[in-house]
Amino acid sequence: MNVSNCCFKCSCTALAVILSLIIGIFGAFFQFSGVFTVTTTFLWVTFGVAVGVLALLAVVTAVSCRCQGCASLCSRITAVLAGALGTILFSLLLLAVGIVATGIGTAILVGLVLFFFTLTLAGLACVIRCNADCSG
The ranges of the chain with pLDDT < 50 are 1-5, 8, 69, 135-136
pLDDT score of 49 = 95
CA gap 112, 134 in Å, rounded: 32
| Cβ pair 47, 92 in contact under 8 A | yes
CA gap 109, 115 in Å, rounded: 10
Q: What is the pTM of this model?
A: 0.82
Q: pLDDT, tens digit, for every residue of 53-65?
A: 999 888 877 776 5
| Cβ pair 126, 13 in contact under 8 A | yes
Grouping H, G, I as helix, E, B as strand and the rest as coil, residue 5 is coil
**Mean pLDDT over all residues of the chain?**
81
Residues in the chain: 136
Q: pLDDT, tens digit, for every residue of 99-123?
A: 766 678 888 999 999 999 999 999 8
Q: What is the DSSP string of 6-33?
A: TTSTHHHHHHHHHHHHHHHHHHHHHHHH
| Cβ pair 43, 91 in contact under 8 A | yes
Please return the burial class of 63, using the count of CB atoms within 10 Å of its CB with bins 0-12, 13-18 and 19+. exposed
pLDDT score of 77 = 83
pLDDT score of 117 = 96
